[in-house]
Structure 1
Amino acid sequence: MQSSQSQTQWQLSGLTRRARGLLGASVALGSGAAILFVWQLSLLAHLVDDLTFQGQPLTSVESDFLKVIAFSAGFLVLQWLADMAGTEAGLRISASVQQDGLKHLFRAGPVGSATQPTGQLVTTLTEATTALEPYFAQYIPRAAMMVVLPLFILARVFALDGWSFVVLACTGPLVPLFMALVGYSAQSVMDRQWVQLVLMGSSFMDYLKGLRTVRLFAQTQNSIKAMTAQTEAHRLATLSVMRIAFLTSAVLEFFASLSIALVAVIFGARLLSGTADFRSAFLVLLLAPEYFMPLRAFSASYHARQNANAAAKRLADLFTLPAYAAARYGTEQPKHAGSVEALSCHMLSAGYATGKTEQINCVTATFYKGQLSVLVGESGAGKTTLLRAVLGFLPLSSDTCAAFDQNGQSIALQNCRMAWVPQRPLLVFGTIAENLRLAAPHASLADLHHVAEQADILPFIQSLPHGFETQVGERGSSLSGGQLKRLALARALLGKPDILCVDEPTAHLNSESTASITQTLSRCARDCIVIAATHQDTLISHADQVLYVSQGHVTSFRERAVA
């Protein structure tokens, strides 16, 4: 039931509620402009008839002439305001959906977001949200005008001439009917275009991130050919959409031209026979093209609806990402809760998908401040999953994980400062100082020196020509593996964590870097709870507490004897 409601919320009808006031104002202003437009044409026909066939002097119709100008100005002003309201509604909905998408990604956390390819997420948050704007800015107001203005014109024509009313009333509904028939095939073509766009974006990002591997295996030309093929497939899908759009316009122009010609022929014959007056004939011929004008405008924006439908499906997929991290993490850093002395896990279970076997099951362990705790086990045993559960990246049942102060009082986990150093730390494009300040944006240079010294990377930074203002390159490409991990550790320490979780901190490092990071973690354990997952014997030998993880269970543990 909840899933069904969530799907409905991200349908186009659900998104309309986000700016219903602006959309209503756009339709109302457009309706007012339509009324003024019909009155303007009626006055114009009356003015031309008086001057041409009634023989009235120009001075006698000055008031009518001024009314025509006034109605024309009012029509233009109202139509401009209607367009502005529709555009603002489209921009507001597109921006709000993009913001909600980003918020949901943060609620999903690194675990939930990993269930969809990065390229697909990027394409959805950029192209899909942008595709919503024309639908609300153009399609909905024009769809309303397709009903409002033709009804006003039909009512006016009905009062003037019955035959013209019958012709327009019969040919008008054929246009949306045939457009709907064409639209069924257009939607499947548009879906195929979005699939090609997602594939192209995902593949390009993968090739870009793996450029080194592609070059080492001499697959550059094959990668270019694959991207060229995907680009060509997207081009052909886009052309298919354009062909359908042109077909829709052609159908509309055919019926509109046929209807206007039929009205003109009937009135011409009746004028020659003397059974119709010029004023009625002239006004109907002025109104007939305008009767189909909203249909033309609607046809021009009809593909926006197809595009928005395909985009809404992609957005709905994004919002189905599980909100693993929603329970603990908000948009602000937690307030420091005091000294956290212990972290207790009791019968802790967690997994990556509901209804499936949990990766860790009934884990009971306690981690203390002043001790370096190490998780040991084979790859896939559940070490990283346990760290993610402790950090709040995975949902937990109540009372399975709790923190305590030195008096044994419980501290809510959302009030504990936690830090995470993954196996492959991420550095953003910028300086060393900017990367460190991700953990504390207002940290002083002295704070940066302190944490760099703690992480044993200060001598290296000071040896650089620009020190903390040195650029780290794309994803830290200018740094070695050991430097990258020590810098990530310094960033984690800048947030003054109560609990520090580290995943494989010494993996793929030489003996010197391994010894340096091991000593750093041992020093960090004096001030906070440190939990590290590792395979390295060096780190295990320095651990105060070793927990052996196997198939999601903590099978045994040992503590180093205190001398």
Structure 2
Amino acid sequence: MHTQQHADWQTTGLARRARSWLAAAVILGGAASVLFVLQLIILAQTVDNLTFKGHTLASAHMALIEIALLCAGSLLVQWLADMAGAEAGLRISTSVQRDLLHHLFRVGPIGCATLPAGQIVTTLTEGVAALEPYFAQYIPRAAMMVILPGLILAVVFHLDGWSFAILACTGPLIPVFMALVGYSAQSIMNRQWLQLVVMGSNFLDSLRGLTTLRLFGQTQASIDRMRTMAEAHRRATFSVMQVAFLTSATLEFFASLSIALVAVVFGARLLHGTADFRSAFLVLLLAPEYFMPLRAFSASYHARQNATAAATRIAEIASLPELNIAVDGEKPSATHITSLTLDTVCTSYADEPALQAVCARFERGQFIAVTGESGAGKTTLLRLLLGFLDVQSGSITAHDSHGRTVPSPQAHMAWVPQRPLMLFGTVADNMRIAAPQTDRQSLREAAQKADALAFIETLPQGFNTPVGERGSRLSGGQIKRLALARALLRNPDVLCLDEPTANLDPASAHAVARALHQCASYRIVIAATHDDALIRQADQILHVADGKVTVCRQSKDVAA
């Protein structure tokens, strides 16, 4: 199954996404080739009639009209073929990008963290973009490299055996030499992609750590490192271009040699009277066109190498295992969660055990505090509840007030991380991430529950006030309460929070704690925290240590 999924993300598998458009491009290209060859046949006959058979220009009037119509028809059909190829490329690249984003949402943040962020971003942008010219140009041109030369060889075989032998012998040499050059070019292209991914990851890390680099005086060192990587990528790019030039030179050499041989052989035979002008003229018209698809194919051959390297990176992202979590946009069921039970649950990061045999039960109206040393597994427990980690063994079940199992419990949950995400927009925009169609009154109610309405109304434009990049215009406490209001906008049955009062001043921490206490009266609230004030408010305390969770009914049990 894994092998089949990997094959679906290779270039051959991706071609099935737009097979009808690709087939249309090939068929229309073949039709254009037929019209073009017919045009040359009529042109050769007309020139022969006018030059050697004494026909007048008036008698060739109909033939000239046919030539014009065939020329126009060939150009029109070829244009339609190019449009079909472009449509195939756009459809495939768009669908791949959409499916990759959907897959990443199903993988979850923990699974995505196994690959560098720079690699994921580069693949979703540059990698997906590299697929378009492959399907829009390379595949139709590869088909034309067979159709048009085959058609020309058939016509030449009917006209002259010597010319057929020359073209038939020299033509296949070009793909052979191109393939030999292409093998070395593929390794160069793979190296270029690797350097691009490393450069993208390094640039992203430098942007994230710009403050740290500045404080440690490493700004210039970071710039020098980026310059070195950019120079390495430039050299790799020029290596690819050198291979492309070598391929073109090989093609032109054999094409020119073949056409020259045909011309010399026919010239000698015409001088000796063993060949007729019409056949010689037609073959000399067809000979350059015999190599034209090969030239076009050579020009787009680098697109294949680029797409192959990109498909490898795309397949790497597509192979990340998906989690059994609610997909984006999934609506919660009409029933509500009143209890949440963990029965001997075990989970792990990759092959490293994280939590073992966790048993706990949470009831509606409870505030649960998760305590423990940093790195003990508090955040892991929240990620497990939210579905960001798979349950290796045991079970997590949610029940309603009648004791019935609630399906997709993650759809009834909300999450406030330690560092909430604030988009570049207004306060209302950031709150509506949870519910895009929410009206202003609902925003006010959610803000009131989170104890955020008072500070929002003091902002210059209220809910329409821009929060700045990453919430730079708000304080830490305001961001935490705004994130809590956003979570409450979904009206979740289970609210999970990671260090909700960390790095806040006492007044802000007290405001957040008061809001959480109010929220816990009609839902399950679970908070990982070191805050003693929050721990004292808890109805139930879970202490995490060495991968094991101890359930304490009162805060004093932990203190003891």
1:330 is aligned to 2:327: yes
Does the aligned pair in 2 maintain the 1:336–1:415 contact within 8 Å?
Answer: no
Q: Corresponding residue for 2:500?
A: 505
User: What letter corresponds to residue 26 of structure 2 in structure 1?
Assistant: V
* Identical aligned residues as a percent: 60
Q: Corresponding residue for 1:396?
A: 391
Q: Corresponding residue for 2:467?
A: 472
Residues 1:415 and 1:180: Cα distance change in structure 2 (over 3 Å): closer
CA-CA distance at 1:273 after TM superposition: 1.5
Q: Distance in 2 between matches of 1:301 and 1:414?
A: 50
Moved more, 333-342 or 138-147: 333-342
CA-CA distance at 1:214 after TM superposition: 1.6
Q: Corresponding residue for 1:460?
A: 455
Does the aligned pair in 2 maintain the 1:416–1:499 contact within 8 Å?
Answer: no
Q: Corresponding residue for 1:235?
A: 234
Does the aligned pair in 2 maintain the 1:33–1:75 contact within 8 Å?
Answer: yes
SS of 2:345's equivalent in the other structure is: strand
Q: Distance in 1 between matches of 2:308 and 2:333?
A: 46
> CA offsets per residue over residues 290-323 of structure 1, 9 Å max, x none?
0000000000000000000000001011112221
SS of 1:429's equivalent in the other structure is: coil
Residues 1:383 and 1:415: Cα distance change in structure 2 (over 3 Å): closer
Match of 1:552 among 538, 547, 552: 547
Q: Corresponding residue for 2:31?
A: 32
User: What letter corresponds to residue 352 of structure 1 in structure 2?
Assistant: Y
CA-CA distance at 1:560 after TM superposition: 5.9
SS of 2:309's equivalent in the other structure is: helix
Q: Corresponding residue for 2:16?
A: 17
User: What letter corresponds to residue 365 of structure 2 in structure 1?
Assistant: G
Give the number of equivalent residue pairs: 556
1:520 is aligned to 2:520: no
SS of 1:322's equivalent in the other structure is: coil
> CA offsets per residue over residues 114-153 of structure 1, 9 Å max, x none?
1112221111111111100111110011001111111111
Residues 1:479 and 1:415: Cα distance change in structure 2 (over 3 Å): closer
Q: Corresponding residue for 1:106?
A: 105
User: What letter corresponds to residue 121 of structure 1 in structure 2?
Assistant: I
Q: Corresponding residue for 2:243?
A: 244
CA-CA distance at 1:415 after TM superposition: 7.4
> If the length of structure 1 is used for normalisation, what is the TM-score?
0.96
SS of 1:360's equivalent in the other structure is: strand
Q: Distance in 2 between matches of 1:217 and 1:243?
A: 41
Moved more, 267-276 or 526-535: 267-276
Does the aligned pair in 2 maintain the 1:334–1:415 contact within 8 Å?
Answer: no
SS of 1:358's equivalent in the other structure is: strand
Does the aligned pair in 2 maintain the 1:402–1:413 contact within 8 Å?
Answer: no
User: What letter corresponds to residue 367 of structure 2 in structure 1?
Assistant: L
Residues 1:414 and 1:371: Cα distance change in structure 2 (over 3 Å): closer
Q: Distance in 2 between matches of 1:229 and 1:39?
A: 56
> CA offsets per residue over residues 444-469 of structure 1, 9 Å max, x none?
22222222222222222111111111
Does the aligned pair in 2 maintain the 1:501–1:530 contact within 8 Å?
Answer: yes
Does the aligned pair in 1 maintain the 2:333–2:407 contact within 8 Å?
Answer: no
Q: Distance in 1 between matches of 2:480 and 2:401?
A: 31
Q: Distance in 1 between matches of 2:555 and 2:334?
A: 29
Q: Distance in 1 between matches of 2:332 and 2:414?
A: 14
SS of 1:370's equivalent in the other structure is: coil
> CA offsets per residue over residues 152-203 of structure 1, 9 Å max, x none?
1111111111111111111101100100000011001111111111112111
Q: CA RMSD in A?
A: 1.5
Q: Corresponding residue for 2:405?
A: 410
User: What letter corresponds to residue 489 of structure 2 in structure 1?
Assistant: L
Residues 1:437 and 1:269: Cα distance change in structure 2 (over 3 Å): same
Q: Corresponding residue for 1:284?
A: 283
Q: Corresponding residue for 1:303?
A: 302
After TM superposition, the structure 1 = structure 2 runs for residues 17-96 of structure 1, keeping only pairs within 5 Å, are 17-96=16-95
SS of 2:390's equivalent in the other structure is: coil
Does the aligned pair in 2 maintain the 1:403–1:410 contact within 8 Å?
Answer: yes
Q: Corresponding residue for 1:137?
A: 136
SS of 1:43's equivalent in the other structure is: helix
CA-CA distance at 1:380 after TM superposition: 2.1
Q: Distance in 2 between matches of 1:284 and 1:278?
A: 10
1:385 is aligned to 2:377: no
Q: Distance in 1 between matches of 2:128 and 2:404?
A: 47
Q: Distance in 2 between matches of 1:245 and 1:339?
A: 63
> CA offsets per residue over residues 247-292 of structure 1, 9 Å max, x none?
1001000110111111111111111121111111111100000000
Q: Distance in 2 between matches of 1:384 and 1:415?
A: 16
Does the aligned pair in 1 maintain the 2:371–2:543 contact within 8 Å?
Answer: yes
Q: Corresponding residue for 1:259?
A: 258
CA-CA distance at 1:408 after TM superposition: 2.6
Moved more, 128-137 or 402-411: 402-411
Q: Corresponding residue for 1:483?
A: 478
> CA offsets per residue over residues 329-387 of structure 1, 9 Å max, x none?
1232423533422111111122232xx24311211101112121011111222211111
Q: Corresponding residue for 2:203?
A: 204
Q: Corresponding residue for 2:156?
A: 157
Q: Distance in 1 between matches of 2:330 and 2:480?
A: 23
